[in-house]
């Protein structure tokens, strides 16, 4: 299968130049104006390709239809990719294309301390000879998930240019705010109208993910007693000190820097405050609901200890559900995973599945009733200035989607 890699690269380079960072503190959807910029650009491109039913909703969900080429009744399959990038670094990349990577270290020019080498990044060994794309070293590249966006666009274009390939109706959805775990919260699944879906938000060629963390957030609010420090004896209750005591009590065995594989964690991501008021925001992650419940119970116990130690303080602990392990639903119907594996094999790759130490929009979509495993699109070192992607790996992701469309048509009775 001949994928137009020049067009694929052009699209990707165009998308990553836009700063589409999401912002957790925002109350809007999308959470940032930059995401609207990319969504409107993609809307124009979908219309130019000739897709049907192109709609950009008030909450930033860009929907479109690739009409069926098969007369057979085929389940409607949706392809998803998110337009936002992680909030931790600037997102307006100055992309650099490293043609025919020769295996030597790559030093990023805007920050020479940022260096990519096969010794520190083993995945680079598999990309020797490929055309790699990086940013300059001070921003994200944005391959998470603009590699997915470009992959979906290229696959749609390929199928439109080859109408002889039989496939069912395919729905396209580009969504905002995946990086802040709100990616599909306001998506109307009836408006989407799909039976199954795939997110293009994975890493290495051949990866198909159907197991993720289950996730909650926890917020600890401590209200102390304010006083002039000169006359504070037996009066002041210092909320900042109590927050420090709480953080010190969190077991390091549950810290993300000490866990891997199938181990869960509690991660304090933000701590702010003063003597009068302090706030600690945490994320909780575990592959099993029982493990997540145990983490909640531990935090409740630590909060109770603070109340006992200083009854004059007001200590409030709240939890918010984020997403659940997609495995709980996908193990009931393995067809989307099995068909994905077959598509990967037809693309000349070996399918691999492993527990994802994170989540995807597929976690929430699956929980909401739309089975949605996650496919690779070639991104690596995400959420860091060393982020990179291989053009050839993106092309393999495009090829996988094309095969996947055919397989759903073949397997339909």
Annotated catalytic sites, by residue? 84, 178
C-alpha 366/C-alpha 51 separation (Å) is: 26
Other C-beta atoms within 10 Å of 125: how many? 10
Of 365, 289, 297, 279, the C-alpha closest to 330 is: 365
CA angle 268, 280, 254 (to 5 degrees): 30
For residues 337 and 362, the answer to whether their CB atoms sit within 8 Å is no
CA angle 363, 364, 366 (to 5 degrees): 70
For residues 151 and 200, the answer to whether their CB atoms sit within 8 Å is yes
Question: Quick one: tokens of 361?
Answer: 């929009």
For the chain, the maximum distance between any two Cα atoms, rounded to a whole number of angstroms, is 84
CA angle 383, 113, 98 (to 5 degrees): 70
Question: Quick one: tokens of 379?
Answer: 């991104």
Rg (CA), the chain: 23
For residues 159 and 169, the answer to whether their CB atoms sit within 8 Å is no
64-83 burial, b if ≥16 CB within 10 A, otherwise e?
A: bbbebbbeeebebbbbbbbb
């Amino acid at each position: 299968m001949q994928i137009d890699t020049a067009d694929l690269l052009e699209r990707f380079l165009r998308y990553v130049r836009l700063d589409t960072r999401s912002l957790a503190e925002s109350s809007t959807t999308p959470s940032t104006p930059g995401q609207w910029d990319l969504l409107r650009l993609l809307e124009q491109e979908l219309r130019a390709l000739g897709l049907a039913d192109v709609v950009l909703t008030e909450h930033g969900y860009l929907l479109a239809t690739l009409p069926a080429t098969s007369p057979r009744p085929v389940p409607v399959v949706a392809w998803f990719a998110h337009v936002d990038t992680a909030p931790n670094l600037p997102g307006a990349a100055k992309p650099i294309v490293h043609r025919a990577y020769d295996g030597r270290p790559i030093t990023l020019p805007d920050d020479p301390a940022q260096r990519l080498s096969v010794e520190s990044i083993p995945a680079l060994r598999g990309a020797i000879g490929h055309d790699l794309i990086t940013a300059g070293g001070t921003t994200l590249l944005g391959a998470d998930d603009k590699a997915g966006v470009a992959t979906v666009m290229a696959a749609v274009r390929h199928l439109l240019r080859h109408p002889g390939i039989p496939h069912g109706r395919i729905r396209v959805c580009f969504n905002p705010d995946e990086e802040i775990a709100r990616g599909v919260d306001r998506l109307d699944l009836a408006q989407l109208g799909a039976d199954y879906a795939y997110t293009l938000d994975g890493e290495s060629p051949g990866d198909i993910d159907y197991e993720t963390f289950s996730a909650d957030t926890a917020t600890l609010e401590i209200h102390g007693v304010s006083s002039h420090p000169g006359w504070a004896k037996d009066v002041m209750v210092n909320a900042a000190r109590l927050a420090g005591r709480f953080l010190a009590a969190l077991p390091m065995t549950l810290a993300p820097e000490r866990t891997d594989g199938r181990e869960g964690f509690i991660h304090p991501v933000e701590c702010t405050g003063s003597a009068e008021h302090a706030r600690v925001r945490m994320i909780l992650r575990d592959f099993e609901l029982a493990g997540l419940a145990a983490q909640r119970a531990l935090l409740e116990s630590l909060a109770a200890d603070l109340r006992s130690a200083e009854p004059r303080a007001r200590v409030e602990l709240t939890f918010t559900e984020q997403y659940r392990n997609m495995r709980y639903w996908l193990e009931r119907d393995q067809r989307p995973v099995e068909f994905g594996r077959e598509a990967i094999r037809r693309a000349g790759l070996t399918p691999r599945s492993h527990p994802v130490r994170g989540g995807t929009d597929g976690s929430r979509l699956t929980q909401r009733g739309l089975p949605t495993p996650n496919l690779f699109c070639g991104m690596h070192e995400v959420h860091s200035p060393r982020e990179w992607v291989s053009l050839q790996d993106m092309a393999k992701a495009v090829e996988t989607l094309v095969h996947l469309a055919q397989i759903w048509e073949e397997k339909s009775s």
